[in-house]
Structure 1
């Protein structure tokens, strides 16, 4: 079958006509980095074109470069009194205009002569207050890297400090922290887990709802993030949806692992600058199963669909209005009789039970940005989101395989959000932002399980609401063009437990040489617990039920980071960071045990322990290296290496490995672009190699498990066993053909090319009375076709 897929794509490529030469348009908007106000009369040129292709910005900061040759281009942006900026590696295709947003930083006037080099697009983030431990990324990166499946979360696993050694889920483990410590933000709003099959309280899942075709340049942060980000102790994914093309209607069609997809964007009318963007996707995994491709779900067929959209309405004097949304549904059932007991890669189902899972996630929001003057703007965003899931589990009789209900759960979390900020640029040296973020949680949480053959007992049965409020202020002072100080404070309060946290943040960047800088960052960060855990029930001997977790406080984490950044050449970057994180007030049990919430988020469910108190601690430290050659001269490479140690203490005060303490991660990625026939036909080979330390797990007590008929773990030596190291290599072949008004893209991503058996987990099998090892996904080919027109 795999050969059939390969030869089918090869046949398509051989029968497609040769592309015609052509050109395309690059356009966008240029603004001041601090005030976000449009810059008028700036010069933009396409580097290396003969004759030189150039343009200037109009009164709204818009520019348009026409008749740009197809392929990878670089543009230079210059404006009097501002630092030049170079945007390299812009992919220009015939099927779609290129739309970009550029920000320039004003120069600080000094009496001493200094050398200021043009800033590189890839070395800067959208957020000017992010000093270090941050990286921007764009659509092209999420689709280019082998093994990423067009998923921003899997793409981020290639960055230093991130471990993504899990084929079944796209959880982001940052510097040994639980993935539950990650904050997702979309267009300024804190959003719930944007994953299909994403359980309440988790931050990842098997398939992302995020569609890389609708994303704009976005930021990913791993430590000491600015004050505007609260309720997170591990990292931040700050995503931006791009605007639709305001001048012409464009279409997209795609089929691949993530689904059948169609998209449309364009202006509302010829005379309007307002635009829309809509993309819809439906699962193709049923088709993959029919072709015999195994992705770890056995005979179960995942079914999901999602929709993303954005409407942008700029005005000449009243500001800018936007409406955006993201939503999806997903469901799957695992039937014990369908489980292949000879397979070692059934990652989700169990032969002794039937389970049924349904999920509905979504967010819809609107924002309004108003420019008070050339130095001040304010923005308000409001949104409503929902996260609903249902789970039912039937045990199967060992005698006749008849089902009987054992677990029923239904969770609904609705969230109503408002985010307001006002930003003021006082001068070239000083700028500041003040903001308010408020999230009102409205929830209904019910779960019951069978405790005797005839009696169900509530595990959770609560409904109500609670408010998480954040107030923050942050400022930037530029002593010179080479020395910048960022500082701020975030104050947050959670009404359910009456928890209060005051979090100072500090960042310092010193460019002591034209292409070298030293960076320092400190952050005090706090996070509420997953909502479900506040409502775990404690049943007393007299039958009364208490919510003994309801008063849990925030978990606190202090981040200390030191970094060195150097551009070895125009397209080669070296970055080294070392860090220390100290975690306090982690929930642990009142009784003496090894449990800690710092290990939560390792699977699909939240812990059910009750009587938790904020007495646990933890610490993470490590060093990271990044060596990256940005795409130039037809090739790129990225090498990241992370050495780290992650430990915690439960109420037993024993220092143990966290389950996420893999201790090392190494990624090596490279890619080469070849011109084929006509200069507008391009063939790409992309390669990725990942090796990482295995997770730590708690050993199973085999004798006690045999007596109990289910897994019994040795909590006295919790997380003392490390699974074998993870190794995977992926190769991706792609072909892009530009015709006069369309672009065809074919790709074949061969994941886990060596079919390496990476351990997923170890489980006790009651039927065989043995401990079974389950492995992650083996060799996994993913074909994809994309059409732009």
Structure 2
């Protein structure tokens, strides 16, 4: 640590001359998404630095001082807006897209401002429970590990499963309720070491350096989103620099080694953007396990420019990972493996899409996307029976081999009827081809008399099924202060041939220039996770999938919110919500089980068959957000969530769900200090404090586990116990250097995660070797580090 700080201090003494950067982008109409010409873009606080957008809505501002900058944008007939917290460096041009909304009454002489462009969601149909975020925040906040999922865990209503995975619990919902979208189409779990039907993992395969500003939704989604009851990640890729070539290389503990290139393509305004990463966290000893994880990913976005037949682009992500857990190398407290077993894990993820945008008239467009995705994973587990004795015997204990392909077709028509009405309608079609195979000895009988549980094929299916989602929605600006969004979403699931109709509505009322209230309601459906649907049950000696006809799980969302602009750059928000859940999968006889409790691990239950769709649950809570956007060299974010998550199994008893933390509190802040003779370099300090109620868990029935030789839980008292509260403090130090003569930029950081080395519980599990209940802990103190060079 002394050496690191000495390096920082040595840079402070360097004498750099003033350096500038470039800010460019596009101005568009928020309703029609068409370019706006004649908009005046002015650099706030700098005299005579302004530009005007051309006929294509494009602008370019040269000689922008490095550091945090703010822009104001004005256009006759439109509400003025602003873009704050633009991080200008000497190593890379800044590309932004600014949307403006037409004034409700052009004859009104009152100056109307829509405030910061980033204070509103990108999706104009989203009014409630939506937060826009930037990729720069992913790298800015402490404890983020360059992971977009860990970024949004700082938002109100969101908590992560634990330090070892980035599963997202949104308002008490299982992580399996999440929907991931990239460039407008759903994608499989975009994480390394992902498994079938899960939505999280230990390392993200999404490269934040390719992301554009995106939306995260936590409730009452607009009509274009479906097959999700928890939350929605609506991510977009940015375009490459259309004017000149730029490059970046970096190294970091968690993302690993990275190289990125971007630049112009052709003579029609096209561009390319591509990056590749190779992880080496295992070498640093920060993986949280003695095993060596290996992972790499590639991401790209190629825009072919505008032609007479429209604009074409192609985008994609590929990620691969593997890890071997060898019992002889595993510590007794390793959270992922045990001394008496060897495990071999592989995971692959691919998603590519071809997008076509076609302008129709002056105020409408048609966007069509054809996509292909593949998600594959294997898990081979060998168990050493009679471990440590002369009778020790190695047998294949579990054998998983899952492969899912999906073909996606999405079409969306958007039309600005007039300044008061916007219409959007579309269709999403997904075809799934699933080859799933799961065999296990866990909890099985010894029918062949060899003295060991039989290796039973729990899932063996080759299924082809479709999900079809038509939708229509409209936004009505009823008055200057009142906006109403209404729509309807349909969902057809071919496995059970169910078609669900889902009304959605939301409104926002601006009490005055500083205060507004909003309300949202929606019905949402999602299929029971695939590993549960295709479980085999032995019926008269024949493996039968007795869960295939389960209904879609239904969820009704109610949200009421209040927003206030407390002062310049300060915003506050309160939201109250209630979510009623029905038609969850439960057992046909009295028990504590519900499919609502699934999804917070690498796998799903293997013995829950002949389920019925009678399960119920609810989530309710209140959330508070206080945010000061970056200005005057500092920012802060305070979020608090107080909530309750309950469910009922077939025994009719209301229980805590495993995701019922009760409360989550986050406090983030950061300060930047300009250093050097010209004060163009930056030293930064960022910190984050998080505390949350412990997860509820089902205690182990130790006596029954000892008799059976494997873990048996006291299901009669399901989720009756609670782990100790979670607590963590992170502190991050960074340094940015802008070159004095060339287009060069350097960035260093060291992120001290869980700096107090606080012990957070991972799990209390039955230990087969010691015949006791052992506590396994999450990762303790863990330093992250990184370096980036842009040129």
Above 0.5 in TM-score? Answer: yes
- Aligned mates of 1:315, 1:114 — CA distance in 2: 38
1:553 corresponds in structure 2 to 551
Measure, in 2, the Cα distance between the counterparts of 1:440 and 1:165. Answer: 30
Can you list the C-alpha shifts for 1:232-263, whole angstroms capped at 9, x where unaligned?
00110000000000001000111112111010
Contact 1:29 1:63 in 2 (8 A): yes
**Alignment-derived partner of residue 339 in structure 2:** 351
Distance 2:76 2:439 in 1: 67
Displacement after TM superposition at 1:118 (Å): 3.8
CA distance in 1, matches of 2:510, 2:309: 39
- In structure 2, the partner of 1:735 is 735
**What per-residue deviation string (whole Å, max 9, x for no partner) do you get for residues 619-676 of structure 1?**
1100000000000000000000000000000111110000000000000000000011
Match of 1:67 among 63, 66, 69: 63
- 8 Å contact from structure 2 (residues 490, 502) kept in 1: yes
Matched, 1:771 2:773: yes
CA deviations on 1:462-494 (whole Å, 9 max, x unpaired) are 102000000000000001221100010100101
What CA distance in whole angstroms lies between the structure 2 residues aligned with 1:565 and 1:116?
A: 18
Output the CA distance in 1 between the equivalents of 2:284 and 2:574. Answer: 41
In 2, the alpha carbon distance for the partners of 1:706 and 1:286 equals 35
User: Which aligned pairs between 1:472-551 and structure 2 lie closer than 5 A?
Assistant: 472-540=471-539, 542-551=540-549
Deviation at 1:74, TM superposition (A): 0.5
Asked if residue 385 in structure 1 is aligned to residue 373 in structure 2, the reply is yes
Structure 2 counterpart of 1:296:
288
Check 1:10–1:588 CA distance in 2 against 1; reply closer, same or farther (3 A cut).
farther
Q: Deviations over 1:676-704 (max 9, x none)?
A: 12311100000000000010000111111
Secondary structure of the 1:426 match is strand
In the alignment, is residue 711 of structure 1 matched against residue 711 of structure 2? yes
Query: 1:199 Cα deviation (Å)?
Result: 1.0
CA contact under 8 A between 1:379 and 1:422: conserved in structure 2?
A: yes
Matched position secondary structure for 1:180: helix
Cα gap change, 1:579 to 1:644, in 2 (>3 Å) = same
What residue in structure 2 maps to residue 229 of structure 1? 225
Uncovered stretches (5+) of structure 2, i.e. residues with no partner: none
Q: Distance in 2 between matches of 1:528 and 1:593?
A: 22
Query: 1:159-558 counterparts in 2 under 5 A?
Result: 159-164=155-160, 166-256=162-252, 257-269=254-266, 271-289=267-285, 294-297=286-289, 299-341=290-332, 344=333, 346-397=334-385, 398=387, 399-400=389-390, 402-450=393-441, 451=444, 452=446, 453=450, 455-540=454-539, 542-558=540-556
Root-mean-square deviation (CA, aligned residues, Å) is 1.4
CA deviations over 1:142-175 (Å, ceiling 9, x no partner) = 1100001111100000000001251000011011
Report the Cα offset of residue 315 of structure 1. Answer: 1.4
**C-alpha separation in 2, matches of 1:133 and 1:115:** 28
Q: In the TM superposition, what whole-angstrom CA distance separates every residue of 1:580-616 from its partner, at most 9, and x where no partner exists?
A: 0000001111121111111111111022211111100
Alignment pair present for 1:36 and 2:33: yes
Q: Using the alignment, how far apart are the partners of 1:10 and 1:169 within structure 2?
A: 34
2 CA distance for matches of 1:587 and 1:29? 48
Give SS of 2:707's match: helix
Q: CA separation in 2, counterparts of 1:530 and 1:319?
A: 38
| CA offsets 1:269-314 (integer angstroms, 9 cap, x no match) | 5x4411000000001113212xxxx4321x2010000000000122
- Partners in 2 of 1:318 and 1:48 — Cα distance? 42
Q: For residues 62 and 714 of structure 2, what CA distance do their matches in structure 1 show?
A: 67
Q: Please say if residues 268 and 305 of structure 2, whose CA atoms lie closer than 8 Å, have aligned partners that are also in contact.
A: no
After TM superposition, give the deviation of residue 13 of structure 1 in Å.
6.2
The equivalent of 1:662 in structure 2 is 661
- Call closer, same or farther: CA 1:549–1:252 in 2, change over 3 Å: same
SS class of match (1:626): strand
* Partner Cα distance (2:314, 2:485) in 1: 31
Question: How far off is 1:112 after superposition?
Answer: 7.1
Q: Distance in 1 between matches of 2:681 and 2:769?
A: 57
Equivalent position of 2:92 in the other structure: 96
The Cα shift of 1:10 comes to 4.0
Q: Provide TM-score, normalisation by structure 1.
A: 0.96
Which of residues 1, 7, 12 in structure 2 aligns to 1:11? 7
* Contact 1:115 1:514 (8 Å CA) reproduced: no
Q: Does 223-232 or 602-611 show the bigger shift?
A: 602-611
Shift of residue 714, structure 1, vs aligned partner = 0.5
CA distance in 1, matches of 2:107, 2:750: 57
The 8 Å contact of residues 19 and 737 in structure 1, kept in 2 or not, is answered as no
Residue 603 of structure 2 corresponds to which residue in structure 1? 605
Instruction: Judge conservation of contact 2:373–2:407 (CA < 8 Å) in 1.
Output: yes
Ranges in structure 1 where 5+ consecutive residues have no aligned partner: none
Count of matched residue pairs: 774
Aligned match of 2:72 = 76
Residue 788 (structure 1) aligned to one of 776, 787, 790? 790
Map of 1:680-691 to 2, 5 A cutoff? 680-691=680-691
Q: Displacement, 1:318? A: 2.8
Could you tell me which of 547, 570, 586 is aligned with 1:588?
586
Alpha-carbon distance between aligned partners in 1 of 2:346 and 2:38, rounded to the nearest angstrom: 54
Q: SS at 2:165's partner residue?
A: coil
TM-score if structure 2 supplies the norm length? 0.96
More displaced 10-residue stretch of structure 1: 445-454 or 243-252: 445-454
Cα distance in structure 1, aligned partners of 2:377 and 2:687: 37
**Conserved in 2, the CA contact under 8 Å of 1:394 and 1:407?**
yes
Task: After TM superposition, give the deviation of residue 117 of structure 1 in Å.
Answer: 2.6
Q: Is the Cα–Cα contact under 8 Å of residues 696 and 721 in structure 1 kept in the other structure?
A: yes
Identify which range, 56-65 or 411-420, moves more after superposition. 56-65
- Residues 446 and 746 of structure 1, relative CA distance in 2, 3 Å threshold: same
Displacement of 1:770 in angstroms is: 1.1
**Distance of 2:236 and 2:400 partners within structure 1:** 34
Alignment check: 8 A CA contact 1:83 1:119 kept: no
> Residues 55-82 of structure 1, C-alpha deviation per residue, up to 9 Å, x if partnerless?
1111111111111111111111111111
Contact 2:20–2:64, Cα closer than 8 Å, also in 1: yes
Task: Report if the CA contact (8 A) 1:411-1:446 is conserved.
Answer: yes
> Is the 8 Å Cα contact of residues 139 and 215 (structure 1) preserved in structure 2?
yes
Deviation at 1:316, TM superposition (A): 4.9
- Report which stretch shifted further, 80-89 or 10-19: 10-19
The answer (yes or no) to whether the contact 2:35–2:55 under 8 Å persists in 1 is yes
Paired with 1:666 and 1:255, the residues of 2 have a C-alpha distance of: 31
- State the alpha-carbon separation in 2 of the partners of residues 109 and 187 from structure 1: 34
